[in-house]
Amino acid sequence: MTGKPTLTLIRYCFVSVFFVLGYLYFLMLCPAHLAYQEQMQLFRLDLLYFQEFLKQPGGLSLYAGSFLTQFFINPALAALIVTTIGIATWFLSVQILKRFDITGPLPGLFPPLLVFALQSHQEFLMGHVIAFIVPLAFSLVFIHLRSTTTQIILSAIGLPALYLISGGWVLLAALVCLLYELLNARNVQIALFILAVSLVAPVLSSRFLFVIPPAQPILTPLPKAPGFNQILNLSSLIAFFPLAVSGSFILNFKRNQKQWSQNKPIVATGLLIAAISGTAIYLYKTSYDYKTELLLRVDQAFVNHQDDRVLELADQYPGSNQFITYYTNLSLARQGRLTDQLFNYNQIGTKGLYLPWQYNSPLFGSEVFYELNYTNEAYRWAFEAMETTRINPRSLKQLILTSLINTQYEVAKKYLNLLTHSLFYRDWARHYRELADHPELVETDPELATKRRFAINTDFWADDDNFEAILELLLQNHPENRVAFEYLMAYQMLEKDASGFIGNLPRLAQRGYTRLPRHIEEGLLAYSSLVKDEFPKGYNIRTETRQRLSGYAQIFRSNSQSMQHAASLLFKDYGNTYWFYLHFFSLPHKN
């Protein structure tokens, strides 16, 4: 028979395993989610930054969360911080539930489990968790007080202060304290006083302290949980304590009022472990987004100039995605391999070469213009990224680099000043501040010096809806811009634009190609009946490419009655050719 010490040991071992798995979950499965949060904000050690948070209820919790989020730059540290916050949530939950005679370490695991599920989404910020934890700490202090006078004073002063710290989450603390007074202390007067203060404080604050709409005092800073599953998780977190406490009271789940047999604690422990494990599996399946994690890892690898890693991750993505294709093509172009290996990876037409102008897309969409040496447009998209989201280190870096390229040193200094007040970007900022203070040093920076030589020297309209025209205009300014040329050839191949492709063949020699890229060879053979005088002089199509076409054509002709069957036979050996794309990829606007 299992003794009480053994049962206690089993419970705490389960708790330990729970948090170890939580740490590994965020370290191994969600590192890019947390890194994205760090990239979407810039915590600054200056008064103006702090004052911005004082303009809304709950701002202090968001400020504390922003402080912690800056450490998410390190994956191991990020996972440790999230896990530590989870442990704090568990400890407070256990202590509060104990006051309602819900004992043991296991029931307190449900709140951190829900917090972990919420933090599996890249938009759920650490500040929201802090805003949840602070009311728990307040509730724990309140229900430990014995003096009615002290409770009144704490309610009168503490609840309004708590509203300033945690915003609408003050109602959670008020509800826990109210239930305690009604169910345990039987003090209706204190309960009514708590209810009154918790409702009046937000209303008065919205009228005299904060400039917020009348409906917002209670909802700020509750996060906007995207998707049904996250809404369900957030609702469950808010409702957990009221439901647990009320359920315990209704069911009379008090050990001192009912004689328990020795087996019932064992059964209860087993049921709780099963319930927690089952909930964890359910939340993992509904809250963990593998595809988004992969997308964010691709983005992170590209920003860190890990192009081989980008291509490796792109191969792992299930199905098609514009974001994945966009970064795949960018990495190939940065390595000078776009017209050699474009069709080695999944293509979705020309929309895989750039991103449309939508919310959040400027943050990522500026990258293609920077790589194309279209500096002014990269600057514009980076600036708009901060307008549509908030000040972030990634956009600031882009603004600084493009300003230095364009010799706008005072503008660069303005953005450098922001990075200088950060903890992890100040060294980077100091390096480029040296260049801004001494412009002659810019030419010693290989990246900036190279891009400066591609400065636009004519005026033209930046048409976001005509990417091909932008490429043509870039080449008119600088015919030697090889990245722009490769993008133009890729665009025309993806668009199946035979005349455009053929018309650009004479430009190959101007770009310093020592041989024909593989997909250019495949295009030449595909359009051989149209290519006459335009065949690039000084180049030959390799024998192996001609042999591949012969093998492709033989299989295609033999199975031309069923295109689906032909595609299935050709895909394994020829799916990475331009010919396969020509025959089996349907453009949205063409038959």
Comparing C-alpha atoms, which of 97, 98, 131, 129 is closest to residue 114?
129
pLDDT (0 to 100) of residue 35? 96
Residue range 33-38: average pLDDT? 96
pLDDT (0 to 100) of residue 258? 47
Confidence bin at 29 (pLDDT 50/70/90): very high
Residue range 558-565: average pLDDT? 87
Is the pLDDT at 215 greater than 80? The verdict is no
Lowest mean pLDDT segment, chosen from 4-18, 57-71, 215-229: 215-229
pLDDT digits (tens, 9 = 90+) for 159-209: 999 999 998 898 899 999 988 888 876 788 888 898 888 888 887 877 777
Tokens of 165: 């710290």
pLDDT (0 to 100) of residue 248? 75
Confidence bin at 551 (pLDDT 50/70/90): very high
pLDDT (0 to 100) of residue 257? 44
Residue range 9-20: average pLDDT? 95
Confidence bin at 217 (pLDDT 50/70/90): low
pLDDT digits (tens, 9 = 90+) for 325-360: 999 999 999 999 999 999 999 999 999 999 988 756
**For 230, what's the count of Cα atoms within 13 Å in the CB-facing half-sphere?**
16
pLDDT digits (tens, 9 = 90+) for 422-472: 999 999 999 999 999 999 999 999 999 999 999 888 877 777 778 999 999
Reported residue count of the chain is 591
Comparing C-alpha atoms, which of 266, 325, 264 is closest to residue 298?
325
Lowest mean pLDDT segment, chosen from 94-103, 259-268, 415-424, 582-591: 259-268
Expressed in percent and rounded to 5, the helix, strand and coil fractions of the chain are 70, 0, 30
pLDDT (0 to 100) of residue 12? 94
pLDDT (0 to 100) of residue 545? 94
Question: Contact 143/177 with Cβ under 8 angstroms?
Answer: yes
The CA distance from 282 to 248, in Å, is 24
Question: Contact 123/223 with Cβ under 8 angstroms?
Answer: yes
Residue range 469-488: average pLDDT? 93
Comparing C-alpha atoms, which of 427, 389, 424, 312 is closest to residue 77?
424
Residue range 294-323: average pLDDT? 95
pLDDT digits (tens, 9 = 90+) for 467-478: 999 999 999 999
pLDDT (0 to 100) of residue 457? 82
pLDDT digits (tens, 9 = 90+) for 90-142: 999 999 999 988 889 999 999 999 999 999 999 899 999 999 999 999 999 99
Lowest mean pLDDT segment, chosen from 10-14, 33-37, 393-397, 455-459: 455-459
Query: Which amino acid, 120?
Result: S
Tokens of 272: 């709780």
Q: What b-and-e string marks burial along 371-398, b requiring 16 or more CB atoms within 10 Å of the CB?
A: bbbbbebbbbbbbbbbeebebbbbbbbb
pLDDT digits (tens, 9 = 90+) for 374-407: 999 999 999 999 888 889 999 999 999 999 999 9
pLDDT (0 to 100) of residue 533? 63
The CA distance from 254 to 181, in Å, is 17
pLDDT (0 to 100) of residue 259? 46
Residue indicated by tokens 């990020």 = 78
Confidence bin at 260 (pLDDT 50/70/90): very low
Comparing C-alpha atoms, which of 18, 146, 186, 145 is closest to residue 86?
18
In the chain, % of residues over pLDDT 70 = 93
Q: Taking all residues of the chain, what is their mean pLDDT, rounded to a whole number? A: 89
Is the pLDDT at 497 greater than 60? The verdict is yes
Question: Contact 46/418 with Cβ under 8 angstroms?
Answer: no
Comparing C-alpha atoms, which of 301, 355, 357 is closest to residue 331?
301
C-alpha angle with apex 136: 135 to 141, nearest 5 degrees? 95
Lowest mean pLDDT segment, chosen from 48-57, 407-416, 522-531: 522-531
The CA distance from 122 to 68, in Å, is 15
pLDDT (0 to 100) of residue 208? 75
